Structure 1
Amino acid sequence: MKRGRSNITSSTAPYDLDGLELVFRRHPRARRMRLRYDAERDRLLLTLPPRASQARARAWARSQSDWIAEQRAARPPSIPLAPGEHIPFCGEELLLVHDPAASRRLHHGDGRLVGGGPEEAFPARVHAWLRRAARDRLSEDVAFYAEKARVTVTGVAIGDARTRWGSCSPEGKLRFSWRLVCAPPEVRRYVAAHEVAHRRHMDHGPDFHAFEEELYGAPTRPARRLLRELGPRLQRIGR
C-alpha cells in the first residue's frame, strides 16, 4: 500500500533550493507545473509537463517562498521516544515514563508506558516495544482477514519504509510499517485488510476495491482519509 501515487517519475538529481531539497518529477499527462511539500521528508516535489524547462521550473519554485515557509511552519514536530513525551498508540495517548526503580521491562497501563534501566537506553527499548506491539497486532489482523478471505499468507514482517504503509509480495509475504501501531485501530485494520485483499487481486481495479471493502466490513474511504491526515505526524515519531 503506497503512501502516494507513483506514476510520476523523477527526471534528474534533486536540486538544492536555499537548503531545501527540490525533486523534479515529470508526468506524461501534466499540463502545468505543480509544487507539493513532502512533510515526511522535508522536501519539495515539483511535477512538470514532459517538455517543461527545468530552469523555468526552478525560478517558479523559488518565487513560491512564502507558500513554502507556511508549509514548513505547519510541519508536525518530531516526537522523540524520550521520557516525558506523549505518543499515540492504538487510539490513545501514551505518556513515556522512565522510573529508575522500575524493571527494565516496559509496563503498559493507565495511559503510561513505564520502564527502568539506564535512561539513555530508554528510547531504544520503547522503539523495540512498539515494533513488537505492531507485529503482534498486525499478525492478529492479518490472520482474521486471511481466514475471512480464504487466502494464504506466508509471513508477516515489520519494517519502516517511508513510501509504503504495507506491501504484499506475489509469494504472500506481507510487510507493514511499525508506525501503524500508533494509528487508531480502524486505520491499522484497514491497511491489514488492504494487503490481504491483494492475495486475491494484485492490482487496484474495481474488483480489488470491492473485495477490500467486503473484507474490511465497512467503507474504506474514512480510514484511508484518516491515514492520509495522520501520516505526517506518524512519520515524526521517534525522529
Structure 2
Amino acid sequence: MSTALSKDFVAGVPLTLRVHPRARRLKLRFDEKSGGLMLTVPPRTSRRAALAWAAEQQRWVEAQLARQPHPLPFEPGVTIPLDGEEVLLSWIEGATRTVVHASGALSCGGPRESFATRIEAWLRRRARDTLSAETRAVAEAAGVTVSAVSVGDADSRWGSCSATGAIRFSWRLILAPPHVRRFVVSHEVAHRLHMDHGPRFKAAEAALYGGPVAPARLLLRRLSPVLRRVGRRV
C-alpha cells in the first residue's frame, strides 16, 4: 500500500491519495482527525481519473463538512466534555502549572503558550489511570488476566486487545460518560475469553457490562464526532 500526499482539494478540503493493493473501487472518506479527505485507489488506476472522480463528489464533501462539529481546541474559555460532563478550560495567571479539576473547570497557570500541552497531558494521565483501574476490576470479575493497559489516539478504534493480553484504549474515552467507557472496557476484557465476536463473546460482554450493550454502543457512535474533535484546531 502506498500513500501520496496531494496538493489537490475538493470543496476546499485537502485530499490525500492512497493506492491500496486490495481495493476494487474508488473510495472517498472524510478523516475526522486531520480534517482532510482520503481517496483510496485500486492499483493501475489513473491518478487523473481518480482525482476527476473525487472532484465530482463535491456535494457529498460539502454535506460531510456541514455535519462536522466545531473543533474544541485546548484553549482557555473552551468547554470540553469530561466523564460526559462539560468542563471549562481556564488559564489562571500566576497560578502553578498543575492542572486542577474543580467546580466544573480544568484550570492551571504556567506559561500561556504551553497551556494546551498541560491540559492534554493531564487528560491522558487521567485516562490511563482510570482505564487501568476499571480494566483490572472487570478482568477480576471475568477471572482473566491483563498483561498491560495503555492509552493512545487511534483514528478509528476505541480499544484493542492482543493475544498476549495487552489492552490499549483511546485516551478520549475519558471524555465520554462512564457507562460508555465501561462498555468499551467490558468489550476488550471479553476478548480475553473469546478472541472473536461470536455468541459466547457477546454473552460475556453483556455479563461483564451488566446488561445490554447496544444503548452504550449507539451513544458512543453518536458522540464519536465530538470526542474526536476535542483538542483539534481544524
Shift of 1:26: 7.5
Distance 1:47 1:112, change over 3 A: same
Residue 38 of structure 1 aligns with which residue?
A: 31
Name the stretch that deviates more: 14-23 or 228-237: 14-23
> 1:63-107 deviations in whole A, cap 9, x for unaligned?
121221221233222211111111110010110111124332222
What does 1:87-166 correspond to in 2, within 5 Å? 87-166=80-159
1:186 deviates by: 1.4
Contact 1:33 1:46 in 2 (8 A): yes
Structure 1 counterpart of 2:3, which letter? Answer: A
1:13 aligns with 2:8: no
Aligned equivalent of 2:73, options 80, 83, 96: 80
Query: 1:53 Cα shift?
Result: 7.9
Among 197, 212, 216, the alignment partner of 2:209 is 216
Out of 59, 69, 74, the residue aligned to residue 62 of structure 2 is: 69
Does structure 2 retain, via aligned residues, the 8 Å contact 1:23–1:45?
Answer: yes
CA RMSD of aligned residues (A): 2.6
Q: 3-state DSSP class of the match of 1:167?
A: strand
1:59–1:185 distance in 2 versus 1, CA, 3 Å: same
User: How far apart, in 2, do the equivalents of 1:15 and 1:100 lie?
Assistant: 41
Runs of 4+ in 1 over 4 A off after TM superposition: 22-28, 32-35, 45-58
Structure 1 CA distance for aligned equivalents of residues 99 and 218 of structure 2: 33
Matching residue's letter, 1:94: V
The answer to whether residue 187 in structure 2 is matched with residue 194 in structure 1 is yes
Which AA in structure 2 matches 1:99?
Answer: I
Counterpart of 1:59 in structure 2 is 52
AA matched with 2:52: A
Q: Structure 1 unaligned runs (5+)?
A: 1-9
**C-alpha distance in 2 between matches for 1:67 and 1:21:** 17
How big is each residue's C-alpha offset from its partner over 1:87-135, in whole Å with a ceiling of 9 and x where there is no partner?
1100101101111243322221111112122222221111111011111
Judged with a 3 Å threshold, the aligned counterparts in structure 2 of structure 1 residues 14 and 203 are, in CA distance, closer, same or farther, namely farther
1:238 aligns with 2:228: no
Identity of aligned residues (%): 50
- Cα distance in 2 for partners of 1:67, 1:146 equals 43
TM-score with structure 1 setting the length: 0.82
User: Which ranges of structure 2 fall in alignment gaps of 5 or more residues?
Assistant: none
Decide whether the 8 Å contact of 1:80 with 1:237 is kept in 2: yes
Contact 2:18–2:41 at 8 Å: present in 1 too?
no
CA distance in 1, matches of 2:204, 2:182: 15
Letter in 1 for 2:57: Q
Q: Does the residue aligned with 2:116 lie in a helix, a strand or coil?
A: helix
Q: Is the 8 A contact 2:123 2:171 kept in 1?
A: yes
Q: How many residues align?
A: 227
- In structure 2, what residue type is equivalent to 1:161? A
Equivalent in the alignment of 1:229: 222
Question: In structure 2, how many angstroms separate the alpha carbons of the residues matched to 1:171 and 1:144?
Answer: 19
Q: TM-score, normalised on structure 2?
A: 0.83
